[in-house]
Amino acid sequence: MERKEFRDLVSPEAATEAIESLSLEGGIDRVPLADAHGRVLVTRLDAELDVPGFDRSSMDGYALRAADTFGADEADPARLEIVGEVHAGEAPAVAVDDGQAVEISTGAVMPDGADAMVPVERTDLEDGDVLVRTGVAPGDNVMFAGADIAAGERALGPGTRITPREIGLLSALGLEEVPVRAKPRVGIISTGDELVRPGGDLDSDRGEIYDVNSYTIAAAVEEAGGEAVMYPHAGDDQAEMERVLRDAASDCDLVLSSGSTSASAVDVIYRVIEEQGELLVHGVSIKPGKPMLIGRLEGSAYVGLPGYPVSAMMVFRTFVAPAIREAAGLPEPASATITGELATQERSPQGRHRLVPIGLTTDGDGNTLVYPVDKGSGATTSLSDADGLVEVDADIDYLEAGKRVDVTLFSPETRPPKLFAVGEDDPTMNRALDRLERPRYLPIGSRPGLRRLREGVPDVAVVAGPLEREVDHELLGEWTREWGLVVPAGNPDEVTGLADLVDQPVTFVNRTTDSGLRSSLGLEVADLATARDVERHDIVGAIDGFDIGLRAHESPARRVAAGDADVALGLAETARQLSLGFVPLGDQPVRVLANPDRTDKPGVRALEGVLMDVLE
């Protein structure tokens, strides 16, 4: 097995410099005004006309000569002859002379001869004349041509980000097309024979998995202000991969691939860039991200990202997103970074600069807490459980709990969940979660849930079955669930209880020891051992499959449904949902325990209320 070794690792700073040295800029787009929102003006725009384009009445009333009103007041109004009217959108048909007035609407053109206007509220009509009960000066209540913005004035500067208010100014200038920076085109190449596009048929026996990185990175590219272009899946065919790579390079400003698990794909890309382009960086002293490639091909930039989703996202966010923003002319959103307090210590081996995926939560006082997410970077769920990353320098191997850290969020709009709960996976709890705003639930099982609650990071732990260890808590809600043995519909093996698993030649699928279901099963096993006067291991040793535990609560039952096992540990509700048979072994309590310091947190209060309602 031959593999590319990355021996000349460059520093993260050198990698950033290399990416900055690549030009990702697109050209200029001319977009219709209606599509200009969010884009960046490429040049200065000066006004080419006066706004307004005429002397404009600011109110409804009478246009007149200011001199005719001198000295007028409530008691001694000036009487003027009304010689006509002018409405918005029409040219005045009359002019105003001494002693005359013209009725005028807001926004209408001031007639010739008039130099001021009086609002209707300060006038009365009498015998067809208007009585003006106030004096005005020349220019009063008139917006002169160009008073808002005049021809020749600088309207908007280059680099201006176009928000609704700039749309307003561009509208006022009558522009229907706006010259904006083209979004950098970013080609996304997916390689690896095992990858299938979402929506396609998956053959798990062949080890196929859905392509996670392509759509994820495409969305992140768009969030950074780029235009993502997805290239057809190239598999591991080398000629095809080279063709796709060259196509993408000639059509895009930047090409991204995410490290295929297949060494051959990486080798093809490496070879093409090295021989036909320019390889600037092969390997960065960073974890994850060591095998990052940075180079040029066909006038386009190329960056190779790691293959695991969380790693790819972190490296993209740290190195690539800033370059795309820069090319798009967009600043980092103000909300894209926050600071928080480490909820637990973070210890890692020294030696390489590290990107640590983290989750966010808040304590009882609303302060932001930061905790490392370490489900394994291969897991797509750890991508959705992570809110951002913290960078840790190579010479730091330990960050103590309570230390303030800077967090780079994966998305500018990411905010801590309103409730952070962990523990047993349970259908009733899931229904409660559906009714909460922005909850986070990690179904890590009852035992780890209790441990995490004691460590003080989550707000709430959900514990099913016997409560083995005491933790300081406030009980938010409690219910029971029926558990037992899930069997095929009709119970073909005529299983009646745990003893049959010991005595009959049936295969069993268990849960992991983290689960409350497994704890309750353990009590039943102990009872059976006592009843038979044997050791516990005599019982479990006789059950085919007892030691193999699945992590998720429906997984054993689904094995039975698939015909891969005869009996599974599970819930009555699961058996019903999957139309399977069920042999009850008992009811187990499910308790929702809150961290006593968090009981006033709005998300915890909301959960309590929803549980009351759900459990009614």
Interacting positions 445-504 with its own copies (CB under 8 A):
none
Under 8 Å CB-to-CB from 75, ≥6 apart: which residues? none
Smaller CB separation from its own copies, 212 or 539: 212
The amino acid present at 502, given as its one-letter code, is V
Pick the stretch among 189-197, 270-278, 288-296, 536-544 that binds its own copies (CB under 8 A): 189-197
Pick the stretch among 18-26, 529-537, 554-562, 597-605 that binds its own copies (CB under 8 A): 554-562
Q: For residue 120, state whether it binds its own copies (rule: CB under 8 A).
A: yes
Q: DSSP of 291-338, one letter per residue?
A: T-EEEEETTEEEEEEPSSHHHHHHHIIIIIHHHHHHHHTPPPPGGGEE
| 184: number of Cβ within 10 Å | 25
* Binding to its own copies in span 401-420, by CB under 8 A: 410-415
Cα–Cα distance, 35 to 180 (Å, whole number) = 11
Count Cβ atoms within 10 A of the Cβ of residue 410 and give its class: 0-12 exposed, 13-18 middle, 19 or more buried.
Answer: buried
Cα–Cα distance, 39 to 526 (Å, whole number) = 68
Least Å from the CB of residue 125 to its own copies = 9
Least Å from the CB of residue 356 to its own copies = 16
Q: For residue 176, state whether it binds its own copies (rule: CB under 8 A).
A: yes
* Binding to its own copies in span 137-156, by CB under 8 A: 143-154, 156
Pick the stretch among 66-74, 105-113, 266-274, 474-482 that binds its own copies (CB under 8 A): 105-113
Q: For residue 103, state whether it binds its own copies (rule: CB under 8 A).
A: yes
Q: Which of 14, 82, 230, 523 binds its own copies (CB under 8 A)?
A: 230
How does DSSP classify residue 284? B
| HSE-up of residue 306 (Cα within 13 Å, Cβ side) | 23
Least Å from the CB of residue 530 to its own copies = 29
Q: Which of 78, 132, 186, 218 binds its own copies (CB under 8 A)?
A: 218
* Two tokens, residue 495: 């299983």
Q: For residue 165, state whether it binds its own copies (rule: CB under 8 A).
A: yes
Least Å from the CB of residue 531 to its own copies = 31
Q: For residue 349, state whether it binds its own copies (rule: CB under 8 A).
A: no
Q: For residue 558, state whether it binds its own copies (rule: CB under 8 A).
A: yes
Cα–Cα distance, 303 to 289 (Å, whole number) = 11
Helices 263-276 and 238-251 cross at an angle (nearest 10°) of: 50
Under 8 Å CB-to-CB from 193, ≥6 apart: which residues? 235, 236, 262
Q: Which of 170, 281, 324, 343 binds its own copies (CB under 8 A)?
A: 170
Cα–Cα distance, 191 to 511 (Å, whole number) = 36
Smaller CB separation from its own copies, 338 or 539: 338
Q: Which helix (H) or strand (E) covers residue 250, if one does?
A: helix 238-251
Residues that contact its own copies, how many (by CB under 8 A): 134
* Binding to its own copies in span 290-329, by CB under 8 A: 309, 313
Smaller CB separation from its own copies, 1 or 239: 1
* Binding to its own copies in span 28-67, by CB under 8 A: 33-34, 37, 44, 49-54, 56, 58, 60
* Torsion sign over Cα 278, 283, 285, 287: positive
Cis peptide before 448 (omega within 30 of 0): no
Least Å from the CB of residue 3 to its own copies = 7
Q: For residue 334, state whether it binds its own copies (rule: CB under 8 A).
A: yes
Q: For residue 211, state whether it binds its own copies (rule: CB under 8 A).
A: yes
Least Å from the CB of residue 115 to its own copies = 10
What's CA 34's distance to the chain center, in Å? Answer: 25
Q: For residue 270, state whether it binds its own copies (rule: CB under 8 A).
A: no
Least Å from the CB of residue 401 to its own copies = 25
Comparing C-alpha atoms, which of 212, 297, 220 is closest to residue 254?
A: 297
Least Å from the CB of residue 422 to its own copies = 13
Cα–Cα distance, 19 to 280 (Å, whole number) = 9
Smaller CB separation from its own copies, 325 or 473: 325
Q: Which of 71, 89, 490, 563 binds its own copies (CB under 8 A)?
A: 89
Pick the stretch among 247-255, 274-282, 451-459, 555-563 that binds its own copies (CB under 8 A): 555-563
Cis peptide before 12 (omega within 30 of 0): no
| 61 contacts 151 by C-beta, under 8 angstroms | no
Q: For residue 220, state whether it binds its own copies (rule: CB under 8 A).
A: yes
Where do we find the tokens 């099913």? Answer: 464
Smaller CB separation from its own copies, 198 or 596: 198
Residue span 352-381 as binding mask against its own copies, x where in contact by CB under 8 A, dash where not: ------------------------x-xxxx
Q: Which of 97, 200, 337, 351 binds its own copies (CB under 8 A)?
A: 200
Pick the stretch among 75-83, 98-106, 469-477, 529-537 that binds its own copies (CB under 8 A): 98-106
Cα–Cα distance, 283 to 177 (Å, whole number) = 44
Least Å from the CB of residue 400 to its own copies = 28
Smaller CB separation from its own copies, 263 or 523: 263
CA separation, residue 309 to residues 87, 381, 441, 580 (Å): 64, 10, 20, 36
Q: Which of 71, 128, 207, 505 binds its own copies (CB under 8 A)?
A: 207
Rounded CA Rg of the chain: 36
Cα–Cα distance, 365 to 342 (Å, whole number) = 15
Least Å from the CB of residue 554 to its own copies = 3
Q: Which of 6, 215, 270, 479 binds its own copies (CB under 8 A)?
A: 215
Dihedral, CA of residue 104, residue 105, residue 106 and residue 111, to nearest 10: -30
Q: Which of 11, 174, 299, 403 binds its own copies (CB under 8 A)?
A: 174
Q: Which helix (H) or strand (E) covers residue 20, if one does?
A: helix 12-21
Angle at 463 between CA 462 and CA 468, to 5 degrees: 150
Q: For residue 263, state whether it binds its own copies (rule: CB under 8 A).
A: yes
